[in-house]
Structure 1
Amino acid sequence: MVGKTEVHGARADRERQLPPFAALRAFEALIRLGGVRKAAQALGVHHSVVSRQVSQLEAWLGAPLLKRSAKGLALTEEGSRFHARISAAIGEIAQATHDVLDGEAQRPLRLWCSQALSIEWLAKQIVEFERRHPDMPIELRPSDVPANLHHFEADANIFKHFGDDLHETERGLKGHVLAQLPLLVVASPDLAAELSWVRSVADLLNAPLLHGAHTGDWRMWLIANGVDPPDPLPGELCWHPHMALESARLGRGLALGSRFFFQRDLEHGALVELSVEGATTRAIGGYKFVARDDRWSTPRIATLREFLGERMKSMEGPPTAVA
């Protein structure tokens, strides 16, 4: 025999539960819009789904909400009271959501990007983007590591990816390759003139190489060009890409990177591209825009992604050697 305390406890547990929200939405929309098909259209589902969800809600509650007859559907007395209360609750949820999204739209879109790309190229593009879209401010954060988008640390990331990582994105996120550019070998004009003896990729092993935070980029580029790099790889470790860039400007050695990194220095003549016979013009890796899958199509993220994609694509293609 079940005691009163157990019955009361079971009832209390059930009262703390909520029926499936999809079923609540279906029932609310059916009554508010006056029909199964209209509710289905508003919710973006087949009309049979609405009917099934309403029946599931009645089964969950253990009480009929609708009277079904040849003339159509009508609310039961209990269904009328239930609809009035959940309709108000769903309306409150919708308004609260609108308020949050409205506030979200007022703050800058937070974009994290690798430091080199941020400083040497992207910051200028963001100025132009905000000029075109004054209602879409961007907060650009140069970073060595991507933001945790799952935890809303930022709205989007732009970082360089290689291999399978370029075309595969972790679950819950969505990615788009903005551009794939070949890597350039650059030097100061004076050093480039001194290195006229460099004819092949293999010759570079005897030239003063500059490494940023690691030797990985040079090593990967040499392998892609058919040269087996020694270990350790010769050259100066500058510990940061911008230190390597500054060393290249000062004529201390050869730097390796994409046109995004060197664009301003190439335009102003501070650096020139070194002509290396037989060097590949094939892109190694690419810059990928990544955002949460559930926010991918929001106006600000979509507009920024398309804008940067167009800007980056215009720079793709084989580089032109000038030294």
Structure 2
Amino acid sequence: MKISFDMDLLRTLVAFADTGSFKAASQIIFRSQPAVSTQMKKLEEMVGVDLFVKKGREIVFTESGAKFALQARQILSLHDRVADDWRRRIVSGKVRFGIPDDYAQIVLPNILNNVIDKYEDLSVDILTNTSPILIKMLQDGELDLAVIATSSPLEDDIVLRREEVVWVTAPDRDTHKQSPLPLALFSDDSPVYRTTLAALQRFSTSGGEEPLRFRIGVTSKSWVVLTTVAANGYAVTTMARSVVSSGLRILTEEDGFPQLGQIALVLRGTPDSQSIATSHLAQEILDFFKAKPVPN
């Protein structure tokens, strides 16, 4: 009897090999933990042997499972090389892609390097703007695909990651000790702005703590502007943890600053723009976030 392996099942198996748990594997392949367990049971049924065994409180590979994981990695490597070769030949056209400028700095260098290398006839028209404007452009048919920061993902959104919003200041200044606290924030249509103001409101009405007095001195749609203002000690700002420049300091509860909560970074397209080119760019973005851990 011939066995035809599903590449998705093999990728999940390799994800388990790389991470050591179903939970961690589920996070890097963007599936739920129960879905990962179901996939691995299906794979065990296909090959007719146990691939996993419970050891204490952990699930580990059996000898057969470890051997099969090595073979699966080889199969996927060959499959992906062949797929990349043919993908290069058939993917062409233009994709109109939007991304907030704070995330553009960490996403675009990696994505564009892969796209230019793999797809000779694919061009990407890139627009950076705030997430609310990118959402409207998607709705108006002006974009094919966008990475968006939001506090409320839609059902059809692909959640790339969830991460903390943090307080940021210059490392060698006492700006964060001023009262009222000078703030430089993303414009008021930003989910980071709304998350920040909601946290300040909770902190001011929680009781038991002296309210944090603040004034908003600068608002901007630009990550570069806010980073520059904070780095020069003019104000404290807030942003997603992963986009904080290495030269800045993150303030915590030990510094007297309340936790701000999380935002979601999602990938969103439109039903009218699902071309082959758009699908492949979306896959490059997914692969990038699967390989990039959420910052602690």
Q: TM-score range by the shorter chain?
A: 0.5 to 0.7
Superposed CA deviations along residues 110-134 of structure 1, whole A, max 9, x for unmatched, are: 101223323x323323322324423
Unpaired runs of 5+ in structure 1?
Answer: 1-103, 169-173, 199-203
Q: Which residue of 1 aligns with 2:52?
A: none
- CA offsets, 1:76-119, max 9 Å, x none? xxxxxxxxxxxxxxxxxxxxxxxxxxxx964321101223323x
Count of residues in Structure 1 that have an aligned counterpart in Structure 2: 193
Equivalent-residue separation in structure 2 for 1:125 and 1:205 (angstroms): 41
Which structure carries more strand by proportion?
2
Give unmatched runs, 5+ long, in structure 2: 1-89
Equivalent-residue separation in structure 1 for 2:91 and 2:164 (angstroms) = 37
- Conserved in 1, the CA contact under 8 Å of 2:98 and 2:129? yes
Of 149, 153, 159, which aligns to 1:160?
149
Matched residue of 1:154: which SS? coil
Name the TM-score, length of structure 1 as normaliser. Answer: 0.49
Query: Do 1:217 and 1:256's aligned partners in 2 also have CA atoms closer than 8 Å?
Result: no
> Which residue in the other structure is 1:249 paired with?
231
The CA distance in 1 between the partners of 2:181 and 2:283, in whole Å, is 40
| Partners of 1:181 and 1:316 in 2: CA distance | 11
Q: Is the 8 A contact 1:113 1:143 kept in 2?
A: yes
1:123-272 matches, within 5 Å, as 123-135=108-120, 136-144=122-130, 145-146=133-134, 148-149=137-138, 152-163=141-152, 166-168=153-155, 174-191=156-173, 194=174, 206-214=180-188, 215-223=193-201, 226-228=203-205, 234-241=215-222, 242-262=224-244, 265-266=245-246, 270-272=247-249
Q: Is the 8 A contact 2:185 2:226 kept in 1?
A: yes
Most deviating of 106-115 and 274-283: 274-283
Which SS does the other structure have where 1:238 is aligned? strand
Render the CA deviation track for 1:229-285: whole Å, top value 9, x for unaligned: 9899523123333322210121112111013432xx21xxx2122233387778522
The CA distance in 2 between the partners of 1:162 and 1:207, in whole Å, is 25
What secondary structure does 2:262 align onto? coil
Q: Looking at both structures, which has the greater relative contact order when contacts are Cα pairs under 8 Å and sequence separation is at least 6? A: 2
Of structures 1 and 2, the larger Rg is shown by 1
User: How far has the Cα of 1:303 moved from its partner?
Assistant: 2.9
Q: Counterpart amino acid of 1:213? A: S
Please give the alpha-carbon distance, in whole angstroms, between the structure 1 residues aligned to 2:220 and 2:163.
23
SS of match in other structure, 2:96: strand
Task: Give the Cα–Cα distance (whole angstroms) in 2 for the partners of residues 257 and 251 of structure 1.
Answer: 16
Query: Which of residues 56, 80, 99 is equivalent to 1:113?
Result: 99
Contact 2:96–2:145 (8 Å) recurs in 1: yes
Map Cα deviations across residues 186-218 of structure 1 (whole Å, 9 max, x no partner).
211112xx368x6xxxxx974332223235342
The secondary structure found in structure 1 opposite 2:172 is helix
Contact 2:204 2:212 in 1 (8 A): no
8 Å Cα contact 2:196/2:260 also seen in 1: no
Q: Structure 1 residues 279 and 208, CA, compared in 2 at 3 Å: closer, same or farther?
A: closer
Q: CA RMSD in A?
A: 3.5
Is 1:309 aligned to 2:286, yes or no? yes
| TM-score computed with the length of structure 2 as normaliser | 0.53
